[in-house]
Chains A and B, each alone.
Chain A
């Protein structure tokens, strides 16, 4: 997963998903057949060596004891990966009321994928049909981006954090304003924004943290950063854009980072009330 750009989607609970080996093999064969059939219908754009040979499903073991993810890949005859995807859960999703109520539902709220557009469309349609789920592209709002900066911008000794704002109007002459903030400065500000005694992070703490950074920059430049749109953040661990693309750059915190992104994905689902 490291150093690759992924598209993030929120995924509603999967109905009838089984994680035993026989079922995973069956899903692989089914998806493979659907992909071959779609190619013969000339759906989508031709790719070099487009003949799909196999689809593999694997469980990913993470930080929540049993497992917290699923990985599947679509490979061609030559072994080239033309589509790969991960489904992740989060702590909240594992204890969700929905899951407690029904044993037939599996909660993996975050789907990240990369691959060509035609294959992605076919895979998504298959997932929706097979597991009766809905997939929506995630757009990260400034509050979510600010939360990720707060969580991962202050990882000590790992470098600075970049925040990029874009101008809401077109043709002003300025496209973006990027600010690189020293890691220790980010850590200092977060330490004062958040009470260390509690694990819970509140919306007010994140808002105060982001607003203080914007106010500091406004005092120097007189540009009202709180009126601009936060487009992208780059911390030492993860880079995230507001259009749903992200990249994880540090392997040390991979599963914790994905759990945080999965929490954000959960907020996009209609039935979940955020407690962040």
Chain B
């Protein structure tokens, strides 16, 4: 496929995914087109045709189209699902802060990957992250990644496993590590993952590159959620709820929890509902997998306990997620002894 055709294809696929309202903002950030030539009051289909036409007239290459694609992902990261990886066993050639810039990473990645296959690489820095895009021309395979400069963490979007593993290995070697492991942590919000990986899970909180941008934010003093609706509402058991709030503030801390959209709990334990079915034998094992989903499950757990839909104190493995960086758990009962064993 010719360069111009590839550029048009990439451009139109990005613009089709973008809302009309977001398109102007995206193209302004891109800065490659004279926006005064574009009539944004047209229908979306006509707008896309118009923009592709203007790009052809200006001979914009596929390189710039790929940059627009990367810019779209950086401006709307929540439209992808990001999975965290940790690099381990430094080789002694770990990159310095000066080397950790977009140009260096792009050139090094191109050199490493061109040995295996022809690909397009785009890297940019935005909001203290390095955002990257690696695509195979003529094939709709693209991998997006984020690196937190000077840290040992990478985020990847979930698709394209084979290409992803090639890019992972290349990045690992460039950044100076021998191996890379998959962390049980994923979210559509890279900022939340940055908060957990760079700050909350590190007891020394030594990461400085982001200048504190992704540090947890202090929670504002809040009223009872029911009281917010109407000040004439009288809250029953106010003392009990105040006690719960103190316990939950101690468990969750005074910072707003990072935004994770799911938690998975697998249990293979002895039956604990004997209050209702007393005849079930004591050694019967019940296998369950419980998934909690929502826009912010950690804050949700806290609110459930505040509202009385959960008993405070909550289990520690649920309240410590921002510190442990795990959102998948497995609880089993030991085969021989009677104590339950917590394993993750």
Residues of A within 8 A of B (CB): 167-169, 172-182, 184-185, 188-189, 192-193, 208-209, 211-224, 227-228
Contacts and interface: CB of A to CB of B under 8 A. Distances in A.
18 contacts: A172-B294, A172-B303, A173-B300, A174-B304, A175-B294, A176-B293, A185-B287, A189-B277, A189-B286, A192-B277, A215-B272, A215-B273, A216-B272, A220-B265, A220-B267, A221-B318, A222-B311, A227-B308
A219 B314 CA distance: 10
B291 interface: yes
B279 interface: yes
Nearest to B273: A212
B315 A222 contact: yes
B269 interface: yes
A178 B314 CA distance: 19
Given A192-B280, A220-B269, A181 B304 contact: no
B291 A178 contact: yes
Contacts of A168: 309
A190 to B, nearest CB: 10
Which 6 residue pairs of A and B lie closest in terms of their CB atoms, listed nearest first? A173-B300, A174-B300, A212-B273, A174-B294, A182-B287, A215-B273
A173 B290 contact: no
Contact of B314 (A174, A211, A222): A222
B299 interface: yes
Given A192-B277, A192-B280, A221-B318, A173 B297 contact: yes
Contacts of B309: 167-169, 223-224, 227-228
Contacts of B293: 174-178
Contacts of B289: 179-180
A208 B278 CA distance: 10
A189 B284 CA distance: 10
Given A174-B292, A220-B269, 10 more contacts: A169-B303, A193-B277, A211-B273, A212-B277, A219-B273, A220-B265, A221-B290, A221-B315, A221-B318, A224-B310
B288 A176 contact: no
Contacts of B265: 220-221
A217 B300 CA distance: 17
Contacts of A189: 271, 273, 277, 280, 286
B11 interface: no
B288 A180 contact: yes
B contact face: mostly helix, strand, loop, or mixed: mixed
> By CB atoms of chain A within 10 A, which of B272, B285, B286, B313 has the most?
B286
Contact of B307 (A172, A193, A209, A220): A172
Nearest to A179: B290
A125 B119 CA distance: 62
Contacts of B275: 212, 215
Interface size class of B (residues with CB under 8 A): 35 or more
B295 A220 contact: no
Contact of A220 (B272, B274, B303, B308): B272
Contact of B290 (A175, A178, A193, A215): A178
A167 to B, nearest CB: 7
B304 A223 contact: yes
A259 to B, nearest CB: 27
A182 B288 contact: yes
Given A211-B276, A212-B276, A220-B269, A173 B295 contact: yes
Contacts of A227: 308-309
Contacts of A214: 273
Nearest to A223: B310
B280 to A, nearest CB: 5
B299 A173 contact: yes
Contacts of A180: 288-291
B94 interface: no
B267 to A, nearest CB: 5
Contacts of B276: 208-209, 211-212, 215
B38 to A, nearest CB: 33
A217 B288 contact: yes
Given A173-B299, A189-B280, A222-B310, A181 B287 contact: yes
A177 B265 CA distance: 11
Given A172-B300, A172-B307, A220-B272, A177 B290 contact: yes
Interface string B111-149: 000000000000000000000000000000000000000
B298 interface: yes
